[in-house]
Amino acid sequence: MSFLTEFPSMDPGNLRDLKKAIDGTFRDFTRANGEFIESLFDPLKWFLLWFERLLLATPWPLIIIIVCALAWLASRSWKLVAGTAIAFLVIGYLDMWEDTMVTMAMVSVATLLCIGFGIPIGVAMARSDRAQAIITPILDIMQTIPSFVYLIPVVMLLGIGKAPALIAVMIYAIPPIVRLTNLGIRLVQEDVLEAANSFGASYRQRLLGVQIPLALPNIFAGVNQTIMMALAMVVIAALIGGSGLGTPVLRAVNNQYLALGLFNGMAIVALAIIFDRVSQAYGKRLQKHREGGHGV
Amino acid sequence: MVSDYKVQIKNLYKIFGPDPKSMVSHVQQGMGKSDLLDQHGHVLGLNDINLDIPAKKVQVVMGLSGSGKSTLIRHINRLIEPTAGEVIVDGENVLEMNETALRNFRQKKASMVFQKFALMPHRTIAENAAYGLTVQNIPEDEAKERSQRWIDRVGLSGFENHYPAQLSGGMQQRVGLARALATDAEILLMDEAFSALDPLIRTDMQSVMLDLQEELHKTIIFITHDLDEALRIGDNIAILRDGRMVQAGTPQEIVLKPADDYVRDFIQDINRARVLQVGSMAHGKPPAKGPKIEKNVVVEEALQIISSAKAKTAIVTDKGKPVGSVTLDDMIAAIARPEPGDKGIETYR
Ligand SMILES: Nc1ncnc2c1ncn2[C@@H]1O[C@H](COP(=O)(O)OP(=O)(O)O)[C@@H](O)[C@H]1O
Ligand SMILES: [Mg+2]
């Protein structure tokens, strides 16, 4: 009766062969195409390295001024600006400035790329139900698969370094912007679109003049989530060469350095809070004219 | 030009459902809306509509909710594709236009005003009013300049930089009207444009529209479910029921000869004295003396003329020429509300 108590699993030999076959096929594929695929991602790597060097080369007072100015432009809140300035000063004082800049470069570049790829994908999904039916399950997989699992093929293909780390962060962080772009566009009121149509607007005019502007609050919620997820990925990305604030955290875990882990962890939290508040405040300001009103 | 009509709708069918084309024959063989839904799961939107709409007049389309009014008006600028039939505007079949021609048609020839205003919440009043021009790639500044005239004309000067949500419903619809007028389109499609407004504001907007029409002479297709509104602004009225057109004619024709009980129900409570013209009840030889009343004067005014002249009989004239007589009793009988189901109206002729 062991049939019921023990699952009739595949023969161990066959199972080993299956795994071997998969590994072998992928390894062969990597050997054959690895270099070519790596070169595809070179522009991303250059962009990331360029931005990282820019942040590191810029004098720290200037960085703080720029970050505070951006926070002010986006949120118009003095409190937020003051909090941002203090957080950066403390980070610098605790000697985490360089790691923080590296992490900021990674998160900014990953977010920009996610926006650049994610919004068009979201637009395509909103335009066609078929595209939506195909892309939605892919996004589901990307969001639920444990990140360590897709690190394996990424590392096999691209090795250890900045580019694979960036790709890993992007895979993890892109779904929300795609989803919320799609959702935002689909939620645009039918009657406003019909009005645009009735005046002879083209697809482009509808998209750029009506759908995207009206979907912006949602798109921005997506950007916010994408930033948060990119930051959450920083420690894991450090495993495959992402460097930045994640590296000292990993070192702290391995060696039980409590203070080191705590400081760097808090720096990541501080960045997360700043990015979150600033982008949310901006998103809110985008909605200013849309809510309330007299109706009929 | 082949015809005096601005818009002609010919044998138009619209059926909603998975396979509308194959349903046309059922409908042509006389299947009604409810049977089509029960037996074939398709919704009959429009059933063999034929309507000629003259230029520079206000054509009202009336009917209860769900009778197909919105569906019909959206065929004129092809926001909805028909299942069968033709829509001809200025001799050109709208349904044969390619995408560019159709967009051009919508940009220049026909503009639309919507029941729920359908303004763009992220654009200011000035930008909304200029929308139709912006779509034509006219630079924003020039577009705003051209649409300013219409913002002023509908009484919204000073609100240019407000957003729609900051305006009341009546004011929002003025923006909708300005937006439609700004493209100088000859045809104005108005789908229950005033139905969402409070009665007082609605009357106000009707006056605004009638004033504009006196000046602009557009071809207006105006949808409403309110007969008083229809009678006030319509030169011609078409009545829809379950996707079929049950009657089309002048307000007076409809009041005098309602085609069926559905129409009769509609006209039950109207003020007939404001619709019926003395010409419709003129009979016999013109009397030797009495006040003269033109035949297209409505009874309400005629009663005043006749009573201030202290007469019992008046001379009905056609462009000044006497053509018949009408008595006080004729008029009073004509404006009496008919009993339900009473077909006696025709006896007044
Ligand atoms: N897209 C659609 N799909 C299915 N049925 C529709 C659709 N649009 C309208 N209808 C149906 O067609 C009929 C006419 O609708 P409509 O033209 O909106 O009526 P009205 O404007 O007179 O209230 C209604 O029965 C409605 O349910
Ligand atoms: Mg309607």
ipTM of this predicted structure: 0.87
Report which protein residue has its CA nearest ligand 1's atom 18.
B70
| Ligand having the closest approach to the CA of B61 | 1
- Residue among B103, B119, B169 whose CB faces A200 most closely: B103
Question: Which of the following CATH numbers is that of domain B56-82+93-249: 3.40.50.300, 3.40.50.720, 1.10.287.950, 3.40.30.10?
Answer: 3.40.50.300
Residue B277's identity, in one-letter code, is Q
Q: Which of A117, A102, A125, A116 is nearest to A52 (CA)?
A: A102
Bridge partner list, B321: B318
Q: Which distant-in-sequence residues (6+ apart) come within 8 Å of B328 by Cβ? A: B303, B306, B307, B312, B313
- Residue among A192, A197, A296 whose CB faces B120 most closely: A192
**Chain A partners of B101 at a C-beta cutoff of 8 Å?**
none
pLDDT the model gives residue A149: 87
Residue A41 lies in a domain: no
Looking at the complex, report in whole angstroms how far the Cα of residue B93 sits from the nearest Cα belonging to chain A. Answer: 17
Q: What's the helix, strand, coil split of chain B in %, to 5?
A: 40, 25, 35
Whole-angstrom distance, CA of residue B176 vs CA of residue B147:
12
Beta strands in chain A (DSSP E): none
Q: Is B320 exposed, middle or buried (CB count within 10 Å of its CB: 0-12, 13-18, 19+)?
A: exposed
What's the average model confidence in pLDDT over B217-223? 96
Query: What CATH number did the domain enclosing A283 receive?
Result: 1.10.3720.10
CB A107 within 8 A of CB A234: yes
pLDDT the model gives residue B283: 85
Q: Give the whole-number percent of chain B exceeding pLDDT 70.
A: 96
Q: Is the pLDDT of residue B74 over 80?
A: yes
Residue A15 lies in a domain: no
Long-range contacts of A263-267 (CB under 8 A, 24+ apart): A263/A94, A263/A96, A264/A96, A264/A99, A267/A91, A267/A94, A267/A96, A267/A99, A267/A100
Residue B331 Cα, ligand 1 centroid: separation in angstroms?
A: 41
Q: Quote the longest CA-to-CA distance of chain A.
A: 74
CB B331 within 8 A of CB B337: no
Helix (H, G, I), strand (E, B) or coil at B211: helix
pTM of the model: 0.85
Residue A84 lies in a domain: no
Mean pLDDT, 10 residues at a time, chain A of 296 residues: 82 91 90 86 92 96 96 92 96 95 95 96 96 96 87 87 92 95 95 96 96 93 94 89 91 93 94 91 78 40
Bridge partner list, B61: B223, B238
pLDDT the model gives residue B189: 97
Looking at the complex, report in whole angstroms how far the Cα of residue B144 sits from the nearest Cα belonging to chain A. Answer: 16
CB B349 within 8 A of CB B324: no
What's the average model confidence in pLDDT over B194-219? 94
Mean pLDDT for all residues in chain B:
91
pLDDT the model gives residue B340: 58
Give φ, ψ of B309 to 5 degrees: -85, -5
**CA B260 and chain centroid, separation:** 20
Residue A63 lies in a domain: no
- Token pair belonging to A102: 């590296």
Other CB atoms closer than 10 Å to residue B232's CB: what's the count?
A: 19
CA distances from A37 to A163, A238, B88, B281 (A): 11, 22, 58, 90
| Ligand having the closest approach to the CA of B240 | 1
**Chain A partners of B195 at a C-beta cutoff of 8 Å?**
none
Contact state of B120 with A191 under an 8 Å Cβ cutoff: no
Give φ, ψ of B15 to 5 degrees: -125, 130
The residue of A189, A190, A194, A199 whose CB has the most chain B CBs within 10 angstroms, and thus the best one to mutate to test that interface, is: A199
Residues with C-beta atoms within 5 A of ion ligand 2: B 70
Q: What is residue B348's DSSP assignment?
A: G
CB B111 within 8 A of CB B136: no
Q: Choose one of B35, B44, B60, B70 to mutate for the ligand 1 pocket test, by most ligand atoms within 8 angstroms of C-beta.
A: B70
Q: Which of A220, A199, A224, A223 is nearest to A209 (CA)?
A: A199
**Chain A partners of B136 at a C-beta cutoff of 8 Å?**
200
Whole-angstrom distance, CA of residue B297 vs CA of residue A285:
59
pLDDT the model gives residue B335: 85
User: Pocket around ligand 1: residues whose beta carbon is below 6 Å from it?
Assistant: B 16, 43, 45, 63, 65-71
Could you tell me where in chain B the CATH 3.90.1280.20 domains are found?
272-335
Quote the domain boundaries for residue A237.
97-295
- Which residue, chain included where needed, has tokens 């955290």? A249
Helix (H, G, I), strand (E, B) or coil at B58: strand
pLDDT the model gives residue B349: 36
Contact state of B135 with A196 under an 8 Å Cβ cutoff: yes
Number of domains into which chain A is organized: 1
Query: Please, what is the end-to-end C-alpha distance for chain A in angstroms?
Result: 73
pLDDT the model gives residue A294: 37
Residue A106 lies in a domain: yes
The DSSP-derived string for A65-113 is HHHHHHHHHHH--HHHHHHHHHHHHHHHHTT-HHHHHHHHHHHHHHHHH
Helix (H, G, I), strand (E, B) or coil at A2: helix
Q: Give the whole-number percent of chain B exceeding pLDDT 90.
A: 69
Report which protein residue has its CA nearest ligand 1's atom 6.
B16
- Residue among B77, B134, B169 whose CB faces A198 most closely: B77
A205: contact with B, CB 8 A cutoff: yes
Q: Is B269 exposed, middle or buried (CB count within 10 Å of its CB: 0-12, 13-18, 19+)?
A: exposed
Residue A138 lies in a domain: yes
Residue A235 lies in a domain: yes
Residue A48 lies in a domain: no
pLDDT the model gives residue B286: 86
pLDDT the model gives residue A148: 85
Helix (H, G, I), strand (E, B) or coil at B98: coil
CATH topology for the B272-335 domain: CBS domain Like (3.90.1280)
